[in-house]
Homo-oligomer: A and B are copies of this chain.
Amino acid sequence: MVLHMPYLLFLGEETNPLKAKTAFGLRDWSAPDCIGQTRLPGGGIDLGLPEMDPAAAAAAGARSLVIGVTPVGGRIPAHWGPLLIAAVEAGLDIVSGLHTPLELVPGLASAAAHSGARLVDVRRPPDNLPRATGKRRSGKRVAMVGTDCALGKKYTALALARAMRGQGVDADFRATGQTGIMIAGAGIAVDAVIADFIAGAAECISPEAAPEHWDLIEGQGSLFHPAYAGVTLGLLHGSQADGLILCHDPLRTHLVSWPDYPVPGLAVARDLYLQAARLTNPGARLVGVSLNTSAMDDAAAQEALERAGRELGVPAFDPMRSRLDQVVASIMG
């Protein structure tokens, strides 16, 4: 699944920035590919991008309108229909990560068929995914793995890809979830594939590459999660990672929304992830530990980073506040 950039970001009538995480993520990580924003009456989110309607965006070079907000219930409200139809009539693809399949928006499929625009539901995996082969492929890969869901695996991979490219390294962020796919412009939502094909999808997400090419692969879930560990394991096996970055939130004692399940210790997590990764890549090693210190002050964050780095013997960093030289050196070393 390859998306057409650049994007016009659609913000609906949203006023709550927490419901616009997709839009902010795209602005922060795909800035050169975001040429404008469009809102409905009452909308209060401002990304700081030029305001333009779909026709103006198309004229300015946009190729897709991306739905950057998540309404309550994750569904597309009926009153969005006219703007979405105007966008496809202007030739823009529609890119959505919401639950409502775009083809169920009344009038949108026929308008798209007429203009040639595509309706892209990024949650929906491609048809005909292969089963995993388990065969090693060339190129190098780093997998983000975590002690829980939702603690910064995507941003860690994005920050590392950016830092490595900044050093002239041939590196790509590889997306495995919907926001990541929009940022990368490609990828597969691995949690939405048929179970037999998880590892096969992961092999497709980071395909054979030049020997010195690096993929930074977004993680999903956690091996310590009672609902999602199967996705995590299949993704890790298919990724055939050379390096693992363990992602962790030092303030979290239990899995988010799962109070019966404690967050594992860093060393326990490292050991299980390495054992799993070595099934398909016997040379896998831990190359860094990424802490989400967003809720800590500088001193507390610094102390947590020092403690984690000492415990695991690898560079510890917070992708949003640390320099990344050491971890990049560790990855490439």
Contact = CB atoms under 8 A, between A and B. Distances in A.
11 contacts: A134-B226, A191-B194, A194-B194, A195-B234, A196-B231, A198-B231, A200-B227, A229-B237, A230-B232, A230-B235, A231-B234
A260 B135 contact: yes
User: In this complex, which of A198, A226, A230, A235 has the most chain B Cβ atoms within 10 angstroms of its Cβ?
Assistant: A230
Assembly of this chain: how many copies?
2
A127 B234 CA distance: 23
A258 interface: yes
A275 interface: yes
A233 interface: yes
A200 to B, nearest CB: 7
A261 interface: yes
A193 interface: yes
Contacts of A258: 134
A230 B195 contact: yes
What are the nearest 8 A-B pairs in CB distance?
Answer: A230-B234, A134-B226, A132-B227, A230-B230, A191-B196, A198-B230, A195-B231, A230-B233
A52 interface: no
A11 interface: no
A196 B125 CA distance: 13
A153 B237 CA distance: 23
B191 A195 contact: yes
Contact of A190 (B133, B195, B198, B231): B195
Interface of A: 131-135, 190-196, 198-200, 223-224, 226-235, 237-238, 258, 260-261, 272, 275-276, 279-280
A74 to B, nearest CB: 14
Contact of A195 (B192, B224, B272, B280): B192
Contacts of A195: 190-195, 198, 230-231, 234
A194 B125 CA distance: 10
Contacts of A261: 134, 279
A196 to B, nearest CB: 4
A270 to B, nearest CB: 14
B275 A227 contact: no
A199 B224 contact: no
Given A196-B227, A199-B226, 15 more contacts: A133-B226, A134-B226, A195-B195, A196-B231, A199-B227, A223-B233, A226-B237, A227-B237, A229-B233, A229-B237, A229-B276, A230-B230, A230-B232, A233-B233, A272-B275
A303 to B, nearest CB: 30
Given A194-B195, A195-B193, A260 B226 contact: no
